[in-house]
Amino acid sequence: MRIGIPGALFYFVYYPMWKVFFEELETEVITSGKTTREMVDNGVREALADACVPVKLFFGHAMALKDKVDQLFIPRIVCMNSKTVYCPKFLGLPDMIRHGLPDMPPVIDVRIDTRDKRFAALRAFMATGHMLKKSTPAVLGAYAKSRVTQMKFYRLLRSGFQPAEAIDMVFNRIKAKPVITTGQMTFAVVGYPYIINDQYISVDVVNKLRRMGINVLTPDNISPLSVAMQHYDSGKRMFWTFSDKVLRATRYFADRKNIDGIIHLSAFGCGPDSIVDRFIHMDNSRRSVPFMSLTIDEHSGEAGIGTRLEAFVDMVKRKKRGE
């Protein structure tokens, strides 16, 4: 039995856990890995033209796994914190893959909604394990192990690594070299993890900044508690999990003395971001941290983004010297 996990969207949030869970149950895990040119082209061709870039990429990743696996693991993650839900596209993700692409392998689409029942995540993994005909103790054991790995992953994020790096470190035992250097400027790059960490569509903004001698922090690097403690006055709360996190994290960064600039990275065609970006702007108009939004799409060239980044960095440097 080979289980496929597309290397997009939730990959950057839950891959360590999922991989360990299945491997503990003696199931081979195959991932589509890093985004390639071909995946982008396939996704753009097969997904609806009006879909957002990340969903198109997900289509491309799913297609790359089509003939290599027996089942695709695309859980329907509705709500994980009993408060906010995921963007409607996540809610319909398994259905879009199942009905929107021809000849796909069967999709495991267990539903996780912590508003329904207690221990919803555990229940979902139990159901998945039973689907694979594994005994309850075996599944429980695998679940426990997978949580341990996930914790390790979170610790790496807290210490300043980005998800893709942390995944590499967890599984390939690559020796960690520190990514935060003291004495440098620090920028916050805010946005959804599956946009920031997809090196192909984000044209590797994080490493570009690092090469310019800038420390980079993202919402993944702050503890959930600090995120939760931020308040923003948008009357109604953002009800999408990722968007809520981006707004709160931006607030957090904007209040830090050591943050020299904030960049909001958003995807072309993203519905929630149209509102998130506007709220960030409104929030930030009262603060003095330099801010820039960058919208990326499947054709955003290295050149264009690079130029804008450099201009922004120069502006911040000048401002800093002037003070």
Partner 1 sequence: MRKVSFPHMGESYRAFKMLLTDLGNEVVLPPRPSRRTLNLGVQHSPEFACFPLKIVMGNYLEVIDKGANLLVTSGGVGPCRAGLYAELHKKTLRELGHPVDIIVFEPPRLHPINFIRNVNRLNPARLSIKAIIECIKRGWRKLQALDNLEKISHIIRPEELHRGTTTRMYKKVLEWVDSAYTTNEIIEAEAAAVDEMNKIPRDHERLILNLGMVGEIYVLLEPASNLEIEEVLGNLGVRVERSMFLTGWTRDNTWKETTEGMTVKDAAHPYLPELIGGHGRDSIGHTILYAKRNFDGIVQLAPFTCIPEIVARTILNKVSHDYSIPVLTFFLDEQTGKAGMVTRLEAFVDLMRMKKMQAAKLKPA
Alpha-carbon span 58 to 42, nearest angstrom: 10
148, 174, 282, 311: which one binds partner 1 (CB under 8 A)? 282
* String marking each residue 229-248 x if it binds partner 1 according to CB under 8 A: -----xxx-xxx--------
End-to-end Cα separation, the chain, in angstroms: 62
- With binding defined as CB under 6 A, does residue 272 bind ligand SF4? yes
Residues comprising the chain, all counted: 323
State how far the alpha carbon of 63 is from the alpha carbons of 28, 35, 99, 137, 252, in Å.
18, 12, 13, 34, 38
Q: Which does 143 bind (CB under 5 to 8 A by kind): partner 1, ligand SF4, none?
A: none
Tokens 């984000």 sit on residue: 202
42, 273, 279, 291: which one binds ligand SF4 (CB under 6 A)? 273
Q: Which does 54 bind (CB under 5 to 8 A by kind): ligand SF4, partner 1, none?
A: ligand SF4
Give the DSSP H/E element, type plus range, for residue 51. Answer: none
Q: Which does 168 bind (CB under 5 to 8 A by kind): partner 1, ligand SF4, none?
A: none
278, 287, 308, 319: which one binds partner 1 (CB under 8 A)? 278
For 111, the token pair is: 């539903």
2, 36, 92, 207: which one binds partner 1 (CB under 8 A)? 92
Q: Which does 76 bind (CB under 5 to 8 A by kind): ligand SF4, partner 1, none?
A: partner 1
Q: How many of the other CB atoms lie within 10 Å of CB of 117?
A: 11
Alpha-carbon span 132 to 183, nearest angstrom: 52
272 vs 290 by CB, closer to ligand SF4 = 272
85, 270, 280, 309: which one binds ligand SF4 (CB under 6 A)? 270
Q: Which does 99 bind (CB under 5 to 8 A by kind): partner 1, ligand SF4, none?
A: partner 1
In angstroms, what is the minimal distance from the CB of 251 to partner 1? 16
- With binding defined as CB under 8 A, does residue 103 bind partner 1? no
Alpha-carbon span 129 to 134, nearest angstrom: 6
313: three-class secondary structure by DSSP: helix
- Residue among 205, 174, 166, 161 nearest 296 (CA): 205
190: three-class secondary structure by DSSP: strand
Alpha-carbon span 253 to 2, nearest angstrom: 42
6, 16, 43, 54: which one binds ligand SF4 (CB under 6 A)? 54
65: three-class secondary structure by DSSP: helix
- Residue among 250, 252, 258 nearest 293 (CA): 250
In angstroms, what is the minimal distance from the CB of 245 to ligand SF4? 11
Q: Where in 97-156 is the site for ligand SF4 (CB under 6 A)?
A: none
**Which of these segments, 15-23, 105-113, 223-231, 263-271, binds ligand SF4 (CB under 6 A)?**
263-271
Binding-residue total with partner 1 (CB under 8 A): 34
24 vs 244 by CB, closer to ligand SF4 = 244
Tokens 């599984």 sit on residue: 171
Interacting residues toward partner 1 by CB under 8 A: 47-48, 50-51, 76, 78, 85, 87-89, 91-92, 95-96, 99-100, 111, 234-236, 238-240, 269-275, 277-279, 282
